[in-house]
Amino acid sequence: MKSGRTVVSSLVPCRSGAAIGGFPSRLHRGGGMDTAPTVSWLEKLIPQAWHDSLTLFVALTAACAALLYLLRPETRKSTLRSLLAAAIALVVINLGPQDGQAVAEWVKQVAIIVLGLALIRLWAMMLMRLFLPLLRLHPPRILEDILLVLGCVGWGLVLLRLAGLDLSHIVTTSAVITGVLAFSMQDTLGNILAGLSLQLDNSVEVGDWIKSGELSGRVVEINWRATLVETRNWETVVIPNSQLMKGQFAILGKHQGAPLQWRRWVWFNINWDTLPNQIISVVERSLREAQLPGVALSPEPNCILMGFENGYSKYAVRYWLTDLAADDLTDSVVRTHIDAALRRHNLKMSSPHYNVLTIKDNEKYMEARMKKHLEERVQALRKVELLSSLNDEELVVLADQLKFTPFVTGDIIMHQGAVAHWLYIMLNGEVEVWVNLPDGSRKLVDVLEGGNFFGEMGLMTGEARSGTVIARSNVECLRLDKESFQSILSSRKELAEAISSILAERLAERTRKLPQDWQEGHGSPQRAELVDKIRRFFGLAKH
């Protein structure tokens, strides 16, 4: 490095009446040019008498920075970057262009600015991370940032003042700008002030384990905007400082005058056959003799009877955890030792006991229930006009064969043209009966409610469905199959004639509801014809 005088000579070209450092030369009061050499702001910044002191200051800074690099490994990257910036600035100042042109002057001015910023950065780190810790003072990290910002602002004001600007106007303008920024950056400023408060009052420090709501982890950094928390799941959660200050959080394991330890609870249940004193003695002696890793020796682990529930005694082991990052793992180790200690003394853990009231279905109960259902079905069959000729015994036989069949709104119960040998007896609800016409349209011919029946032609003659039945609401039906009716008709062949008469009347009534052209093409079958179809379908011989 050149001497201080060489630095000044390279920085300050002495040309009368020329623009120096990008700023115009002064004019003489008489209106002419001043013939005296103009003093640049760089020469004001570094007077001739300070050259040797500046060299000594730079050397002292380099020595202290080397010490900081060796003693504080976490600052090495920042220290190297600042030293590199200062070195480049010094090279430009000493070895830069010397022709006094405006470009060369601007380059040197920028180098001076960078040198100042680098030195401020280095001294802020050395003060906060080297000198004060040697005096056993550990200021919060955010104070270093504040000191750095103030130093940079001060350096900028010095440069502006030496350049000839009036700082009073800057202060007035900056006050207005500051007010506007403060209004528009309320959240950001709130986080900054909250972060400063957190560190100044030592309410939470880097390294503390905290719990806020469901979040639990270790604080790794408190910066201007947020607090960074590392969880046990290897996640880094960013909490805004203002949110942390407004809410409630717990600092885990922190007790005045005690080492970092956090009390944990492990629960287990034992039946009532063993005295609680025996269980407590066995568990405590086992844990104290084991000296498990992560479990503090003082206070010692203890076992407590917590209550009686559902046929067992509820116990808890309380121990103090020394490694807060290994909470679940240490809990597991403690549980394992508790289980082993109990097994060695033939003590078994218990599960909850419950008294369940059950009703045993006996023959009388089942008989009464079946009789009730059977009576309900017989009453439903009596409402079916088609089965009015059956006696009580025959109705009971059919009732026992009925199958409960529910439908919900919109279900298609039967399709027109489909073949199905079922009769539906409606208990409740409503259904619509639709018929497809030759022109492709369809017509609503009937709406049936609870107590009605449909599908009788399919059951008695085996013919395809003459209409489509759709559930208008939730419908409950009882379904009667052909096989259930077969035995009754086989024993009473005269029923076919009675049933055929009813079928003929129902078909005639339904046909009258259809258009005239449909009636002409689909005449209703006569009673004799229906009797013959029923006999053929059920395989009944004529008598």
pLDDT at 519: 54
For all residues of the chain together, what is the average pLDDT? 77
Distance in angstroms (rounded) separating the CA atoms of residues 329 and 61: 49
The tens digit of pLDDT for each residue in 422-472 reads: 888 888 899 999 988 878 888 888 898 888 888 888 777 778 888 899 999
Distance in angstroms (rounded) separating the CA atoms of residues 367 and 375: 12
Selected from 3.40.50.300, 3.40.190.10, 3.10.450.50, 2.60.120.10, the CATH number assigned to the domain covering 385-538 reads 2.60.120.10
Span 79-92, mean pLDDT? 86
- Looking at the structure, give the CATH architecture of the domain made up of residues 262-344: 2-Layer Sandwich (3.30)
Q: What is the maximum span of the chain, computed from C-alpha positions, in angstroms?
A: 152
Strand 412-414 and strand 262-271: the pairing is: unpaired
pLDDT at 63: 86
Give me the phi and psi of 307, to 5 degrees please. Answer: 160, 180
Span 481-504, mean pLDDT? 75
Q: Tokens for 74? A: 């976490």
Chain mean position to CA 467: 55
The answer for residues whose C-beta is within 8 angstroms of residue 12's C-beta and 6 or more apart is 20, 39, 40, 42, 43
Distance in angstroms (rounded) separating the CA atoms of residues 58 and 50: 12
The answer for residues whose C-beta is within 8 angstroms of residue 137's C-beta and 6 or more apart is none
Lowest average pLDDT, out of 351-360, 379-388, 402-411, goes to 351-360
Dihedral (Cα; 420, 426, 431, 434), 10-degree rounding = 40
On whether the CB atoms of residues 310 and 246 are closer than 8 A, the answer is no
Alpha helix (H) residue ranges in 201-326 = 241-246, 276-290
Chain mean position to CA 74: 35
Question: How crowded is residue 138: how many other Cβ atoms within 10 Å of its Cβ?
Answer: 11
Q: Which of 290-304, 379-393, 516-530 has the highest mean pLDDT?
A: 290-304
Span 48-64, mean pLDDT? 72
Distance in angstroms (rounded) separating the CA atoms of residues 234 and 428: 63
Instruction: State the DSSP code for 46.
Output: S
Instruction: State the DSSP code for 481.
Output: E
Instruction: Note if the pTM is more than 0.95.
Output: no
The tens digit of pLDDT for each residue in 267-276 reads: 999 988 788 8
Tell whether omega for the bond before 299 is within 30 degrees of 0, i.e. cis: yes
Sign (positive or negative) of CA dihedral 359, 362, 368, 370: positive
Domains of the chain: which residue ranges?
A: 4-184, 188-252, 262-344, 385-538
Alpha helix (H) residue ranges in 163-275 = 167-184, 186-200, 241-246
Give me the phi and psi of 451, to 5 degrees please. Answer: 100, -15
Distance in angstroms (rounded) separating the CA atoms of residues 111 and 123: 18
Q: Tokens for 41? A: 């702001």
pLDDT at 358: 65
Among 315, 282, 319, residue whose Cα is nearest residue 300: 319
First to last CA, the chain: 138
The tens digit of pLDDT for each residue in 122-149 reads: 888 888 888 888 888 777 677 777 788 8
Distance in angstroms (rounded) separating the CA atoms of residues 172 and 153: 16
Compute and round to an integer the Cα radius of gyration of the chain. Answer: 50
CATH number, span 188-252: 2.30.30.60
DSSP for 309-331, written as a single string: ETTEEEEEEEEEES-GGGHHHHH
pLDDT at 357: 64
